[in-house]
Every structure is written in C-alpha cells, then in structure tokens.
Structure 1
C-alpha cells in the first residue's frame, strides 16, 4: 500500500492515478466532490466559523472517510491512497493554531484518532503503508496549481495566508510526525506528471524500484 501526501493542489490525485495505472493498483481518492462541509469551510467568514464550527466538522468528516478508506485499502493486495489518515492530524493542528478549532475540539479529535489507530493496529492484515510518496513544491507552484485546478471555493484571495500556513509546516510534519513508512520525496517544481509522460514514467519506475527493494512487488 502506498500513500500520497502533500500540500493542497500539489498534484496528489494525478500522482495517485498514475501510480495506480503503473502498478495496477486500486486508487482510493480523497472525498471532495461529495463532501458537504468543504465548500462551507472555505467560504465561511470568521463569525460563521465561530458559530458553525465548520473546521472541526470538516476534520471529523475527513477522519471518518479516511478511516473507511484505509480499512478497505488494507484488504487489497495493492492500493494507493490519495492522502491518508496520517496526514489529517496536521490539518487539524494548523486549524487549532489558527484559532479555527479550539483546544477541547482538538482533544476530542486526537482521542478519536488514537482509538481509530488502535483499531487499525489490531487488523488481521497489513498494518502500515509500504511507502509514502511525498510531493514537495514551492509556494508559487502550489498556488499556481490551485489556480489552474479551478475549484471555485478554493480561489478566494483571503485563503492565501491559510495555504501559506499549511505549506510552511508541511516538511516539519513529514520529518517530525510521520513515521508509518519510508518516504519518497518528489520535487514538484521539477516534475510534471500530467503534461510530461517521461516524468510520469520515471516516477512509476522509481516507486517500483523502492518496492522491489522492500520485496513488496
């Protein structure tokens, strides 16, 4: 099992699809289009956030759907996760740091996550990813790809500082909080798997080599 991680808009879904095709693996995509809370979260002003608690509700929604996906993926011989439960804690922490999630909500979230991870550890099949493919890019690359993706609710200029806050701490999350598997870091400033077939092929081969070294394929 492979998890694909990285900043909003950096290209996780495209990379997951390419790896799924190249490794003949099922891809579990992030729940976005059917997520009823995500547009509300992006469009809410601070008063609505304080009243409706959209950030907390959003992270609970992602926690539930991520837990569902990771249990299904662990049953497959081969699977790719477009983001995973391991990364959601970081988004919750950032929203806590920004004051969008309060300390009590953060404590409730961490308690739920801890119990879910205990459940995962007790599963009778694979218990951790074989590889994390981490997509790293400059803030300029992130913003350019968010703009080109064109989701209306992501385009508000007032979201720029939120994106910057997430981006600034992502490497720290990887280096100090993620320990579930080995990590392959992909420089997305120099890699375009969508428009350059050679980049896509090279990434698939690199992942294959790493998995073969681990005797996973």
Structure 2
C-alpha cells in the first residue's frame, strides 16, 4: 500500500466485526476505533417500530461516526499511521437505503454526503460473510436486550443488502481492497489456525 493501512472490518449484524477487529488490533499492534452501538438511545424503539424511528436512529449513528472518523483522520491518517476500525462509514448508507423512505431518505443522502465525502476512507476492508442461522445464533448468544426480537426476515434482507453494498463500494471512486472472510469456513474465535490465516492475508495486503 502506498499510504498507511486504514483497515475496516465489516459485515451484517452478528458477523463478528468488533471481535475480529479487536483481535487484529492486538495481534498487529494497531489502534482500534470502535463504533458506538448500545449508546444509541433510539435502538430499542427502532426495533419495535422501524418506520417511526429509523431516521432518528440513522442520524445518531451518522453524527457519532462522523466525529470518530474526523478524529481518526487527525490522529492517525494525517500522520500516516495505521489504524483499524470495526466499521466502514458506508454501512450507514447500506442501512439507511433499506430503512428510510421518501423525503427522509433523500434528506439523509444529502446529509451523509455533506458529512462524509471528505472524511478519510479505509483502503482495506475485511468483509465477513455469514449465513442467516449463524448470525441469529450469535445475536442471541451475545444477549443484547434490544436485539432479542430481531426479525429473521430483516436479517435476511440485510445480508443481501450488504452483498450489494460491498459490490458498490468496490466499484466506487478510489475503491478499497476488499478481503472476504467466510464465517462458515473460518471460525477465527474457536480456531487459532483460522485466525492466523486471516492475519497472514491482512499482512500481505498491508505491504
């Protein structure tokens, strides 16, 4: 890579983004930027009524991630120092395009581009793919109260939206390198050799 690696770990809810990002941060001695999730005051309401609360939810996430990435740019990217994050800002559009409708979606698109177009973007994205049953199992296992009534139909659509979103990201302007990890084949938590395989791939791409 010509510039210092800015790595993002992505995937649908329950894919293991934060877990893998944390493990890689420790293994590669990289600072970690973690997204704010449970602090969002609209989460519980959103899962009870998506149409009513989606705009408030997405705006909270967007503003928090904007501030995080603005600081990341100042502290690491501008200093040409490597860093890893457990999200890519583009995930905001993946979720918003599904949950928002009409004028709210149009307004959100405008605000998204206004805030993010000049933010630093990852040059390496680790995209974790997983099947519906695996995601639902992991969501139930981690026990977040607001996720316990997660609609499988919503999750199934989210899997499809992520595949489309990652393809769009790969075709965009200055696209990142995308490393796909199949969570059905590589259990990086339970099998150290699987994690080592991922580490080796990431190291090769960081050069």
How would you bin the TM-score normalised by the shorter chain? 0.7 to 0.9
Deviation at 1:171, TM superposition (A): 1.0
Task: Tell me the secondary structure at the aligned position of residue 183 of structure 1.
Answer: strand
Q: How far, CA to CA, are the matches of 2:199 and 2:68 in structure 1?
A: 23
Residue number in structure 2 paired with 1:208:
203
Unaligned runs of 5+ in 1: 96-100, 121-126, 213-217
Aligned match of 1:84: 88
Q: Say yes or no: does 1:165 pair with 2:161.
A: no
- What is the TM-score of this pair, normalised by structure 2? 0.87
| Root mean square deviation of aligned Cα | 1.6
Pick aligned residue for 2:40 from 35, 39, 43: 35
Q: Deviations over 1:29-79 (max 9, x none)?
A: 12122221112212x24xxx55xx311111001111111121222231121
What does residue 63 of structure 2 align with? 64
2:31 — aligned with what? 26
Aligned residues: 194
Structure 2 counterparts to residues 1-217 of structure 1, below 5 A: 1-42=6-47, 44-45=48-49, 49=50, 53-74=52-73, 75-76=75-76, 77-95=81-99, 101-120=100-119, 127-156=120-149, 159-178=151-170, 179=172, 180-212=175-207
- Maintained 8 Å contact 2:7/2:125: yes
Distance in structure 2 (CA, Å) of the matches to 1:177 and 1:19: 22
* Distance in 2, Cα, partners of 1:151 & 1:118: 32
> Can you give the 5+ residue segments of structure 2 that lack an aligned partner in the other structure?
1-5
**Moved runs in structure 1, 4+ residues, more than 3 A?**
177-180
Q: Is the 8 A contact 1:70 1:84 kept in 2?
A: no
Is 2:88–2:122's contact at 8 Å kept on the other side of the alignment? no
